[in-house]
Amino acid sequence: MGPIRGVKRRKNTEPKRLDQNVLAAATLSPQPEPLDWWEEFQQIITGPLSESEHKMKFESLFKISRRTFNHICSLVKERMATRNFSTKNGKRLSLQDQVAVALRRLSSGESLTNVGDSFGMSQTTVSQVTWRFVEAMEERGLHHLCWPKEQGEMEEIKSKFERIRGLPNCCGAIDITHITMTVPATDDSSDVWLDDEKNCSMTLQAVVDPDMRFRNIVTGWPGSLSDDIVLQSSGFFKLCEEGTYLNGKEMVLSEGTEVREYIVGDSGFPLLEWLMTPYQGTKLSDDKAEFNKRLSATQMVARRAFVRLKERWKLIQGALWLPDKNKLPRIILACCILHNIIIDMEDQVQDDMPLSHHHDSGYHHQSCESADKTGSLLREKLSLYFSGQLP
């Protein structure tokens, strides 16, 4: 019997209709999107974070926006992509994973063990990832922490400082804070680091602009040194003395009265021709008291910058246990760079953080009696200017 007419034709056309139906269904059905990095990263979190923080927002855990996080990743990408790290389960850490671990360690101040348990990693991995991140920030992020290079940038800084409390031609505010450490008594060098408050500490000196951005930092000196010694031992002091810094044009206050560029500091610093400090004493004249009020309000930006630095990067807030005193200055530098990046990125997450004026709780203000003659004359000019006594 010959073939039934039409059977072959149906066999050829039926698969085509099926393929079209499948294609149509695939087009209409929503396809699963690839996991966002943050969603995938949460899946490797174990221990305490798995229940209490698994669903929390990225900003709540890292205290920065995703935009800022991505910028940080772009800075360290080349340096950190050359080494492989893994979780205890063998999952290879991506660039974002590594940056997240390092930021968590620096911002939480938790021990290597706690951070490792939270992220399913050994404490060795957390330590190595964090240190590699610190090195990368030092190499790739220094442009976020620099002295103003353009005169237009410095003019804007001076204008903002003047709007605070009227100080003319002011270029910065300087202050010093202590990074406390726990050093065993058996350590032969422990006495060197013992400060006036009987804490082992390392100093951090910083010059800050009106936006609380660090413009110059000096760290690594033992806490046993006074503020004026730290200043005079710094490269910043040398650059100012030789006229490399604070060498811009003078500002005319009145006919025949001009003031040079300068920075402001508290009574722990010496009075210099480029560094204004407050008058000391209890019974001050009205013009001197007014000067002190204006200077203190202006210098407050440096104190607030230190508070924000320690609040955000808690690794340098409390007493560090057995710190590597050669690595600690570089860790401090990385935290200062990160502080500036958040400001440069105009990250609004920082605005939600509480802010006090105390970065060295329990420490007494130091007093330095050293006063340069030229500095005294400049301070007198400013006092008369504020009191309206200049001709």
- What's the gap between Cα 246 and its chain centre? 24
pLDDT of residue 357: 59
Q: Mean pLDDT across the chain, nearest whole number?
A: 86
pLDDT of residue 52: 47
**What is the pLDDT averaged over residues 20-38?**
51
Give yes or no for residue 37 having a pLDDT over 90: no
> How confident is residue 353, by pLDDT bands cut at 50, 70 and 90?
low
- What does pTM read for this prediction? 0.86
Q: Please say whether the beta carbons of 254 and 391 come within 8 A.
A: yes
Give yes or no for residue 47 having a pLDDT over 50: no
> How confident is residue 365, by pLDDT bands cut at 50, 70 and 90?
confident
pLDDT of residue 187: 73
**What is the pLDDT averaged over residues 353-381?**
84
> How confident is residue 110, by pLDDT bands cut at 50, 70 and 90?
very high
> How confident is residue 6, by pLDDT bands cut at 50, 70 and 90?
very low
pLDDT of residue 101: 95
pLDDT of residue 45: 62
Give yes or no for residue 355 having a pLDDT over 70: no
> How confident is residue 44, by pLDDT bands cut at 50, 70 and 90?
low
> How confident is residue 273, by pLDDT bands cut at 50, 70 and 90?
very high
Higher pLDDT, 20 or 378: 378
Give yes or no for residue 176 having a pLDDT over 80: yes
**What is the pLDDT averaged over residues 155-167?**
97
> How confident is residue 178, by pLDDT bands cut at 50, 70 and 90?
very high
- Of 42-51, 198-207, 299-308, the one with minimum mean pLDDT is 42-51
Closest CA to 94 of 140, 35, 33, 142: 35
Following DSSP, what letter does each residue of 77-114 receive, concatenated? HHHHTTS--B-TT-PBP-HHHHHHHHHHHHHH---HHH
pLDDT of residue 349: 78
Burial of residue 387 (number of CB atoms within 10 Å: 0-12, 13-18, 19+): middle
Q: Please say whether the beta carbons of 80 and 99 come within 8 A.
A: yes
Give yes or no for residue 219 having a pLDDT over 60: yes
Higher pLDDT, 78 or 360: 78
Higher pLDDT, 218 or 33: 218
Summarised one tens digit per residue, pLDDT across range 287-317 is 999 999 999 999 999 999 999 999 999 999 8
Summarised one tens digit per residue, pLDDT across range 328-351 is 999 999 999 999 999 999 998 766
Residue ranges of domains in the chain: 37-140, 144-387
Q: Please say whether the beta carbons of 302 and 208 come within 8 A.
A: yes
